[in-house]
Each structure stands twice: as structure tokens, then as C-alpha cells.
């Protein structure tokens, strides 16, 4: 949906008048070429995942025209990124870097601060700079998607896997700096990155890790993608989920291809999840579960068929449990409450040993059923998981976005230890508050070992103002209630960044003061992504920009 835009366009960033802005843009066009600078002054179009806008948040939960940029600039090289940053310092214009801008559910391509200039790195900087088949690593630019990296590797014929999130159109680099997750044994993306090149808010360029040591005769360092640290402090972490720098190159570890076997296990009762999670924990700790498996509520079996909610239920309220289960009964999963999607890796004997233990352990849950890909039809979601869990990018996960008309989602993503008792507290409040605010609850636990990312997606109709208001209210209440119990989110949508950052307030906001101290030192003019991760530079602090 697209509503006509009110007011003079483009929207300007704070503290910048239209004359200065126009002058600045003219200068930017001069230096980058006018075809590489676009004003955001046309109607906003939400598009869809593969044709997403870089002007605003396609999954807008506030008004569509609220989180918008003033312009987009397309650098073609690291030097041009540096030039843009210097330009921003000169005119005090806030810039917001995106790689692909497919951060849907977390703000899409929108800047945190209205009127910022989007630096769209993805359009022109999209080379796979290196694939090292021996050491199983690569170096990518921001515009390399999972699909692109996958194809590039296929071309080489090397037996290497990438790790992909549930949808493959994102940026390998952008997802990693936002600390996203995938589902092979390399699913913790940030843990598997190795070496960065970063443009600092001053415009200076720095290489981290071994890349900081020049290679022979000016070559890249031979250990840049082999070892994660330089000598001295390990700085990479501060460039994740922050506004301290723009990452222009990144190394990633690739996984040597291996045999694999995916499976699903269904569990009959809603209250089984505590026992399931307590079974998962030792299996994960002992590496019998080889990857980042997902435990999904059965409603997702319905949603991921791609059929709309109305196909299953006519009411406006959340689909009642009986209705969900009556449909599930006639589907491959059968009548159940939870579905666990797992994969084991390695040679046949290893997989067999692991599967034996897995089957035996989960069999302790009365009524659980173990299902292999050959047991379900070709179009069942399990086959998509087989691919995802062996590093093949997919789009299948988008299918649940047909659930409602104009459907968008908002992700609530708290972290808990892999323990039934913790899971219960979070699951209970999420279930209760979804119901209170009138939403279906579609939780997935992504288990990475000692912790789980609990991902609950609120699905809402972008054309329904009341639904959007309720989605926000539901999020705010979930964040607050979870924090009161000691649980916090790993990542969030732009409009909840301030609230969530504040929940990490131990010691009277000590961590935020540390972040602000670093921010002010690196970005004294406050030009880089003000407000991202709740970190406001001095010049914007305390002026009412916090949400």
C-alpha cells in the first residue's frame, strides 16, 4: 500500500535547512556522479522481498512515511564511502549505511533517524573478492547476497558450503554485522566472520584482525581470513550492531561440504516444550545436535503452506488452538503442538549414531513422532529445511507472509538459556500478550547450544492502523515484561532500539555510557547512523529523538 506523501520532499534531517541540504547534495553529485545520488521525493512503494525499497521500511509498523531517508547514495568503492563520510562531516548530515537493506522485521532499509541519507552499499559494491578453497574462507563486499555467494562458489566447483538465514536475499556482510543467524553448524554468523575493513566516522580506513599487518609487497595479509584477531585489542565486535563504522569488506569462514540428514519430530502437547528443551540442552552441549535446529509451534506448519489465515479460519481473532490442530491433523505433521527441525552431519555411521541418540531421547516425550524427508510430500517445508541446513539459500520462508492481506512482520527476539524453566517464562508472557493484543503467536526457538533465540513474529496488516498500533503495544509490553524477568532481545526493529537498549541498564546504564563514550570519540559530529542500537551521539542526545 502506498499513501500520497504530505509536506515538502525530501524530508530533511534535523538541524539541516533546505538550502544547505541542496548545496550538499549538489556537491555529493559532483563527486560521485549524479546517477549515484537519488532524492527520496517520489511515492513510497513497499514492493516485496525481492524488490524491496531503500527509501523506507517496507514493513512499516509506524506510518509508512515516518521512517524515511532524504536521499540515497550509491558508492562504488571504499574510497567513495570515505568521501561520503567526509561529506557528511562537512555538512553535518546524518548517514545510514545498509548493505542489502532487506532487514525486514527489524526496520528494512530505513534509517533510524528520519531524513538521514542512506548509503546503499549493496548496489555497486558486490564483489566476492576472494574464495580460498584450501582454507575454506572468502572475502565479500556488502552487496554480496547469500544467493550470489552460493552461486559464485558453485562456479568454482569447490566442495564448500555457505551458511544462510531462512531467506537468501540478505547481505552476507550486512546480516553478519547485525549478528544474524543461520542453521548449519556455522549458524552463528558473527562467530564465523574473520577480518574486516571499516570506514570510521572520521573517514579513516582501518583493517581489523590480521589484515592490520600488511602482506608482502602490499598484498593482503595471508592470515587475514585465518585468524580473527590482530595483536592488541579485538575491535571487530564494536562494529556489530553499532554505529561506529561502515564495514566495506569482510572475511567469512566457509564450511567444508559434508553429508547430512534432516528430520522433523512432532510433539503432541503444548506444554511439552519444557521437556523438549531440557532434552535438547545436553544433546546440543554434547554436539549430538550438529546445527542450529528450530523448534516451531504447529501454527507455522499452516502458515508456511503459503495459504492465508482465512483459508483456515474466518474470525478476526487469533486462530483457536482446536482449529489449528484440526487442520494439522490432515497435514503431514499430524495433530501436534510442536515441530522440531534438526539435521545431523558427517559420514553415514556418524549420522546413524547421532540419530539413534536423538530418536531415543525425544522418544521420552509421549506421543512424539520422528519423520524423515522421504515421509512427507515434495512441497513440504521439511525439504526447504534440508536445503537451508546444508547451506542452500531459499525463499520458502516468505510463504507465511501470505497470512494476512498486506502482511508484514515484526520480530520479538529474546535470548534465554537452553532450559525449560527459562523458556517457560518467556513463552508464557509472549503467548499471553499476543492473545491480549489480538495476534496469532508464531514462536520459533533457534537453539545454538547454551542459549536459544526465541523468535516470535507478529504478523500484521500494513493497511490496518489499529493492527499496527496493537503490534507496537504488544512489542512494548513484551519487551518490558521480559526485561522485568531478566530476559533481553538480541536484535530489534528501529523503533524499539531505545527501549531495548535501556533494558540493558545494569549499573545505572553503565554499558550505554561506555557505548556513548566510544561513540563520541569516534564520531564527534554524530553523523553515522544516529540512534542505531539506542546509541545517540552527543549532538542528538536528550533532544527527544529517543522513542
Ligand X SMILES: Cc1cc2nc3c(=O)[nH]c(=O)nc-3n(C[C@H](O)[C@H](O)[C@H](O)COP(=O)(O)OP(=O)(O)OC[C@H]3O[C@@H](n4cnc5c(N)ncnc54)[C@H](O)[C@@H]3O)c2cc1C
Helix H or strand E segment including 248:
strand 246-253
Choosing from 114, 296, 491, 532, which is the catalytic residue? 491
**Least distance (Å) from a copy of itself to the CB of residue 153?**
15
Annotation says 490 is catalytic: yes
Q: Could you give the CA distance from residue 168 to residue 156 in angstroms, rounded to a whole number?
A: 20
Q: Could you say whether residue 410 binds ligand X (CB under 6 A)?
A: no
Q: Could you give the CA distance from residue 236 to residue 36 in angstroms, rounded to a whole number?
A: 29
Q: Name the burial class of residue 243, with classes exposed (0-12), middle (13-18) and buried (19+) by CB atoms within 10 angstroms of its CB.
A: buried
Considering the complex, state which of residue 274 and residue 399 has its C-beta at the smaller distance from ligand X: 399
Annotation says 381 is catalytic: no
Show the CA angle centred on residue 27, arms to residues 25 and 30, nearest 5°. Answer: 110
Site for ligand X in 511-540 (CB under 6 A): 532
> Grid cell 520459533 — which residue?
444
Beta strands across the sheet bearing 246-253: 128-132, 137-140, 246-253, 193-199, 205-207
Considering the complex, state which of residue 33 and residue 282 has its C-beta at the smaller distance from a copy of itself: 282
Annotation says 183 is catalytic: no
Beta strands across the sheet bearing 117-120: 37-39, 71-73, 117-120, 95-98
Q: Could you say whether residue 53 binds ligand X (CB under 6 A)?
A: no
**Least distance (Å) from a copy of itself to the CB of residue 300?**
24
Q: Could you give the CA distance from residue 521 to residue 531 in angstroms, rounded to a whole number?
A: 16
**Least distance (Å) from ligand X to the CB of residue 418?**
18
CA 460 vs CA 94, 398, 407, 434: distances in Å: 30, 14, 6, 12
Considering the complex, state which of residue 202 and residue 431 has its C-beta at the smaller distance from a copy of itself: 202
Reduce the DSSP state of residue 54 to 3 states and report it.
coil
Considering the complex, state which of residue 238 and residue 323 has its C-beta at the smaller distance from ligand X: 238
Residue 483 contact among a copy of itself, ligand X, none, beta carbon within 5 to 8 Å by kind: a copy of itself
Grid coordinates of 462: 500494513
Residue 135 contact among ligand X, a copy of itself, none, beta carbon within 5 to 8 Å by kind: a copy of itself
Choosing from 106, 150, 381, 487, which is the catalytic residue? 106
Q: Could you say whether residue 301 binds ligand X (CB under 6 A)?
A: no
Q: Could you say whether residue 171 binds ligand X (CB under 6 A)?
A: yes
Choosing from 387, 490, 502, 539, which is the catalytic residue? 490
Residue 232 contact among ligand X, a copy of itself, none, beta carbon within 5 to 8 Å by kind: a copy of itself
**Binding letters toward ligand X, positions 126-155, x by CB under 6 A:** ----------------x-------------
Q: Could you give the CA distance from residue 245 to residue 448 in angstroms, rounded to a whole number?
A: 28
Question: Residue numbers of the site for ligand X (CB under 6 A)?
Answer: 97-105, 121, 142, 165-167, 170-171, 173-175, 177-178, 180-181, 246-247, 397-398, 532
Amino acid at each position: 500500500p502506498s499513501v500520497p506523501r504530505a509536506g515538502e520532499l525530501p524530508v530533511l534531517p534535523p538541524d539541516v535547512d533546505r538550502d544547505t541540504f541542496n548545496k550538499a547534495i549538489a556537491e555529493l553529485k559532483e563527486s560521485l556522479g549524479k546517477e549515484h545520488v537519488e532524492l527520496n521525493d517520489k511515492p513510497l512503494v513497499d514492493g516485496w522481498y525481492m524488490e524491496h525499497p531503500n527509501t523506507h521500511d517496507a514493513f512499516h509498523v509506524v506510518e509508512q512515511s515516518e521512517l524515511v531517508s532524504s536521499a540515497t547514495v550509491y558508492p562504488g568503492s571504499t574510497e567513495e564511502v570515505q568521501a561520503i563520510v567526509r561529506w557528511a562531516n562537512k555538512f553535518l548530515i546524518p548517514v545510514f549505511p545498509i548493505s542489502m537493506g532487506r532487514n525486514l522485521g527489524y526496520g528494512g532499509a530505513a534509517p533510524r533517524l528520519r531524513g538521514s541519507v542512506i548509503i546503499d552499499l549493496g548496489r555497486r559494491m558486490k564483489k566476492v573478492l576472494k574464495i580460498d578453497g584450501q582454507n575454506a574462507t572468502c572475502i565479500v563486499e556488502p552487496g554480496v547476497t547469500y544467493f550470489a555467494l552460493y552461486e559464485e562458489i558453485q562456479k568454482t566447483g569447490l566442495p564448500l558450503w555457505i551458511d544462510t538465514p531462512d531467506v537468501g536475499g540478505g547481505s552476507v556482510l550486512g546480516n553478519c554485522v547485525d549478528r544474524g543467524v543461520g542453521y548449519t553448524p556455522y549458524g552463528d554468523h558473527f562467530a564465523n566472520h574473520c577480518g574486516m575493513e571499516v570506514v570510521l566516522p572520521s573517514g579513516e580506513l582501518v583493517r581489523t584482525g590480521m589484515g592490520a599487518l600488511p602482506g608482502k609487497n602490499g598484498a593482503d595479509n595471508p592470515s587475514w581470513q585465518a585468524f580473527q584477531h590482530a595483536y592488541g585489542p579485538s575491535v571487530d565486535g564494536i562494529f556489530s550492531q553499532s554505529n561506529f563504522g561502515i564495514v566495506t569488506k569482510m572475511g567469512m569462514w566457509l564450511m567444508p561440504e559434508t553429508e547430512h540428514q534432516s528430520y522433523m519430530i512432532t510433539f503432541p502437547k503444548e506444554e511439552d516444550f519444557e521437556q523438549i528443551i531440557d532434552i535438547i540442552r545436553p544433546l546440543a552441549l554434547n554436539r549430538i545436535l550438529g546445527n542450529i535446529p528450530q523448534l516451531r509451534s504447529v501454527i507455522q506448519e499452516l502458515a508456511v503452506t503459503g495459504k492465508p489465515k482465512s483459508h483456515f479460519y474466518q474470525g478476526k481473532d487469533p486462530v483457536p488452538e482446536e482449529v489449528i490442530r484440526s487442520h494439522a491433523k490432515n497435514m503431514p505433521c499430524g495433530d501436534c503442538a510442536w515441530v522440531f527441525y534438526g539435521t545431523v552431519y558427517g559420514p553415514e555411521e556418524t549420522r546413524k549414531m547421532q540419530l539413534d541418540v536423538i530418536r531415543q531421547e525425544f522418544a521420552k516425550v509421549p506421543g512424539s513422532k520422528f519423520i524423515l524427508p522421504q515421509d512427507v510430500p515434495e512441497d513440504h517445508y521439511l525439504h526447504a529445511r534440508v536445503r537451508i541446513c546444508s547451506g542452500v539459500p531459499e525463499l520458502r520462508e516468505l510463504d507465511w507472509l501470505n497470512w494476512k492481506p498486506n502482511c508484514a512482520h515484526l520480530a520479538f527476539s529474546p535470548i534465554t538459556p537452553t532450559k525449560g524453566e527459562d523458556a517457560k517464562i518467556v513463552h508464557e508472557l509472549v503467548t499471553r500478550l499476543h492473545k491480549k493484543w489480538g495476534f496469532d503467536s508464531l514462536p520459533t526457538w533457534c537453539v545454538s547450544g547454551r542459549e536459544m533465540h526465541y523468535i516470535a513474529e507478529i504478523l500484521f496488516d500494513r493497511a490496518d492502523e489499529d493492527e499496527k498500533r496493537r503490534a507496537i503495544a504488544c512489542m512494548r509490553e513484551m519487551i518490558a515484561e521480559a526485561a522485568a524477568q531478566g530476559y533481553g532481545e538480541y536484535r530489534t526493529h528501529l523503533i524499539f532500539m531505545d527501549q531495548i537498549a535501556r533494558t540493558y541498564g545494569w549499573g545505572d546504564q553503565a554499558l550505554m555510557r561506555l557505548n556513548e563514550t566510544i561513540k563520541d570519540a569516534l564520531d564527534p559530529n554524530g553523523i553515522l547512523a544516529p540512534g542505531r542500537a539506542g546509541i545517540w551521539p552527543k549532538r542528538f542526545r536528550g533532544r527527544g529523538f529517543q522513542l
